[in-house]
Amino acid sequence: MGALLGLTLGVGLLLVWRSGSRRGVSRPSSRHWSERRTLLLRQAGVGGVGSGQLLAVQGGSAGAAFVIVLLATASTSIAACFSVFGFAAPIAMLSRLRRRRTTELREIWPEIVDNLASAVRAGLSLPAALSSLGTRGPEQLRAPFARFGSRYRTSGRFMHCLDMLKDDLADPVADRICETLRVAREVGGTDLGRVLRTLSTFLREDARTRAELETRQGWTVNAARLAVAAPWAVLLLLATQQTTLEAYDSPTGVGLLVGGGVVCLVAYRLMLRIGRLPEERRVLA
């Protein structure tokens, strides 16, 4: 009987594992490390900065944190801990900028789609409709559409310019809009205006629902972040005492700092995973 129960449990776990989502080669998690960092920079709206430059900024931030904490506490082990935080600080800042930009664009995309639908209904061609957003569209996204218009006037290659526009925007909603326009350009059809208006309605409903969820989630996430940061703030205050410095510079103290850092990292990542809302992926990139 025990063997039968064990076999049943094993088969059940296997079925649960097999039913999970598979990561394709185009998923962001399977991208090269440098490509993921470059994508993060684009999605955060930071132009003209590459992965190598970001790594240099992280190294400089880590070195500055190490020197500042070392001068304040005279403890190498505590300074090393805060240098790790300094190394991760630029990535955390970029992630925050990306979330803020995504939230802003979520409110803007319906307006972009409405402008495209109006231009198509007025009889403009697709290149002209996209180029007009460089002057009449929302101010936050005028630059990418202006570059599209300049490229199209120079080359006349709509599909190539559309691909470059997708790379500039680096947004899942932009991918859907661009692919819709690509299909309309290739096969034609009279339903493009209706499709764009339907997409605009869907985007507005999605933005409203996600905004409500993020508002309710924000208090819990901020409280969890404060709980993770509090022990290290207390450590920094205790580091002003000479007995504390001697304790943490010992092998046992270093082991305690490393263990505490690992526990905080695991808890923080677990908190983010539990509280994470589903995000759209750039499946058409």
Q: What is the pTM of this model?
A: 0.66
Residue 88 shares a structural domain with residue 219: yes
Residue 109 shares a structural domain with residue 202: yes
Of 206, 240, 259, which marks where a domain is finished?
206
Q: Is residue 40 part of a domain?
A: yes
- Domain tally, the chain: 2
Q: What tens digit of pLDDT does each residue of 160-213 get?
A: 888 888 888 878 888 888 888 888 777 765 677 777 888 888 888 888 888 887
Classify each residue of 214-246 as buried b or exposed e, where b means 16 or more C-beta atoms within 10 Å of its C-beta: eeeeeeeeeebeeeeeeebeebeeebeeeebbe
HSE at residue 270, side-chain half, CA atoms within 13 A, is 7
Residue 115 shares a structural domain with residue 62: no
Of 206, 240, 264, which marks where a domain is finished?
206
Q: H or E element: which one contains 250?
A: none
Residue 82 shares a structural domain with residue 115: no
CB atoms within 10 A of CB 265: 13
Report the mean per-residue pLDDT for the chain.
78
E-assigned strands of the chain? none
Of 191, 206, 221, which marks where a domain is finished?
206
Residue 81 shares a structural domain with residue 215: yes
Q: Is residue 64 part of a domain?
A: yes
Residue 231 shares a structural domain with residue 198: no
Domain, as residue range, for 112: 105-206
